[in-house]
Structure 1
Amino acid sequence: MFSLFKSLWGYRGFVLSSIRNEFTTRFARSRLGGLWMIIHPLAQVAIYALVLSNVLAAKLPGIDNPYAYAIYLMAGMLAWNLFAEIVGRCLTLFIEQGNLLKKMMFPRITLPAIVVGSCLLNNLMLLLAMLGVFALLGHTPGAAIVWLPALILLVVAFSIGLGLFLGVLNVFIRDIGQVVPIILQTLFWLTPVVYPLSIVPERLKWLLDFNPLCALVVAFHDVLVYDVAPNLRDLAGIAVAAGVLMLLGLFVFRKASPEMVDAL
């Protein structure tokens, strides 16, 4: 396992240049450039806010702001978008890079590293835009925002572990690529991103206990919306799950790497 990280460090220049090239190539002929990475999620937030704000605005205790629901929604989308983007891109990563894997000799662990770096860059830009929107809406996150880097790290660890595992499986079982987007869409509605936990009936709350993303999204809401420290007991369980998933993903990736090229 150590050899994977050693090779990744040795190719760090390749990883950084690939992230930069991906960013510049994606928006090479776009007038707005990287702003589209911010416009898309903010447009999604605006649509949800317009559709659901009248229903849920009165059920957001603890937020003294007329735009409470939009603020709540943006905080949740920040966590969800990072998770969904990493998992979604890792799911098809090795299939899309099949020709590169066949023609070049390089540490294959650099491919998911490039995905993580690119997704983090997107998320950072979204965070900065979101903080600007918060300021326009009259909401300023407090001291609890110092927890945000740790929460982002948890999301990344959980996502890359799961994404690596699913991405390798998808090379050998292509049905995985068809099923996972459906599961992600279902998981989105089972995660308190567009609704607060307070409106979930007590008889159904046990379902959320099986969703590890629930605690992460709630922690983002606590830090960015309510200015309170996250529940460390809940996050400890997520940290253990993220660690196990990362080890599992790296183990499967390392064992399956030689066979992936043949399968592709």
Structure 2
Amino acid sequence: MAQVATYALVLSRIMAAKLPGIDNRYAYVIYLMAGMIAWSLFAEVVNRSLTMFVDNGNLMKKMAFPRVCLPIIIGGSCLVNNLLLLVTAVGVFLLTGQPLSWVMLWLPLLMAINLAFALGLGLILGVLNVFVRDVAQVMTVVLQLWFWFTPIVYMPSIIPDRLRAVLEFNPMMHMAVAFQDVLLYGRTPGIPGLLVIAVAAAVLLLFSLVLFRRAVPEMVDVL
């Protein structure tokens, strides 16, 4: 929320003009919050997954338990945090006069896809970080760059057409836009964009589970 407030104070006058058709002086704040709800779940899951096996190395060596519990616990706790952020955002929407719509019923599906995508990527990176400890440090920088390549602080419409075509390959762009469609514009999220990240989430999650299952014995030895 502090990050949203900072961007809103600095950029609201500039970016508000880029949101045509929204009759709300706080439109940019709502736009920001919608994008941050999408990003915060993804970033928190990935960040915590990066070191989940390294941090719990002693536990994995000394106790016999389903190792898959670790990403499940992380995913669950991050989801709770995201739900609390969503509740706070809804409170802000009500205070600023932003109408709530039935399309918010899309939010559980959007959050599920977002969580699956983040867990899939996070699990892969968490396994790799056991064997190559620099992965966590590199991903910290990558996530910062990834944030700025996702239309959360700015609108896709201000990006030149050539660069906008590149953004289409960013799954988190489609997720952020979907949240903005639902929470700001009160419309159904674009199905093609949603399918892109849903397919990416399914592929990543399946691959990560296969990789994790095969890597567990070696991970315990390395840890």
TM-score under structure 2 length normalisation = 0.98
| Unpaired runs of at least 5, structure 2 | none
Query: Which residue is equivalent to 2:188?
Result: 229
Query: Which residue is equivalent to 1:174?
Result: 133
Higher alpha-carbon deviation: 199-208 or 88-97? 199-208
Structure 1 letter corresponding to 2:179: F
Query: Which residue is equivalent to 1:185?
Result: 144
The answer to whether structure 1 residue 120 and structure 2 residue 79 are counterparts is yes
TM-score under structure 1 length normalisation = 0.83
Tell me how far 1:203 sits from its aligned partner.
2.2
Tell me how far 1:165 sits from its aligned partner.
0.4
Question: d(CA) in 1 for partners of 2:204 and 2:162?
Answer: 30
Question: d(CA) in 2 for partners of 1:60 and 1:191?
Answer: 17
The answer to whether structure 1 residue 50 and structure 2 residue 9 are counterparts is yes
Secondary structure of the residue aligned to 2:65 is coil
Tell me how far 1:141 sits from its aligned partner.
2.2
Tell me how far 1:74 sits from its aligned partner.
0.3
Secondary structure of the residue aligned to 2:17 is helix
| Unpaired runs of at least 5, structure 1 | 1-41
Structure 2 letter corresponding to 1:251: V
CA contact (8 A) 1:56 1:69 kept: yes
> Aligned match of 1:153 in 112, 129, 133?
112
Higher alpha-carbon deviation: 174-183 or 112-121? 174-183
Question: d(CA) in 2 for partners of 1:66 and 1:237?
Answer: 32
Q: How many residues align?
A: 223
Matches within 5 A, 1:1-264: 42-264=1-223
Question: d(CA) in 1 for partners of 2:196 and 2:162?
Answer: 23
Cα RMSD for the two superposed structures: 0.8
TM superposition outliers: structure 1 runs of 4+ over 2 Å = none
- Deviations along 1:168-225, whole A, 9 cap, x unmatched? 0000011111111111100100000111111111121112012111111100000010
CA contact (8 A) 1:141 1:223 kept: no
Secondary structure of the residue aligned to 1:194 is coil
Question: d(CA) in 2 for partners of 1:201 and 1:54?
Answer: 21
- Deviations along 1:131-185, whole A, 9 cap, x unmatched? 0011111112211111111000110010000000000000001111111111110
Tell me how far 1:83 sits from its aligned partner.
0.2
Question: d(CA) in 2 for partners of 1:99 and 1:244?
Answer: 31
Query: Which residue is equivalent to 1:25?
Result: none
Question: d(CA) in 2 for partners of 1:225 and 1:62?
Answer: 11
Question: d(CA) in 1 for partners of 2:199 and 2:156?
Answer: 23
Question: d(CA) in 1 for partners of 2:123 and 2:100?
Answer: 33
Higher alpha-carbon deviation: 235-244 or 149-158? 235-244
Higher alpha-carbon deviation: 152-161 or 62-71? 62-71
Tell me how far 1:49 sits from its aligned partner.
0.4
Question: d(CA) in 2 for partners of 1:187 and 1:129?
Answer: 25
Tell me how far 1:62 sits from its aligned partner.
2.4
Question: d(CA) in 1 for partners of 2:193 and 2:3?
Answer: 28
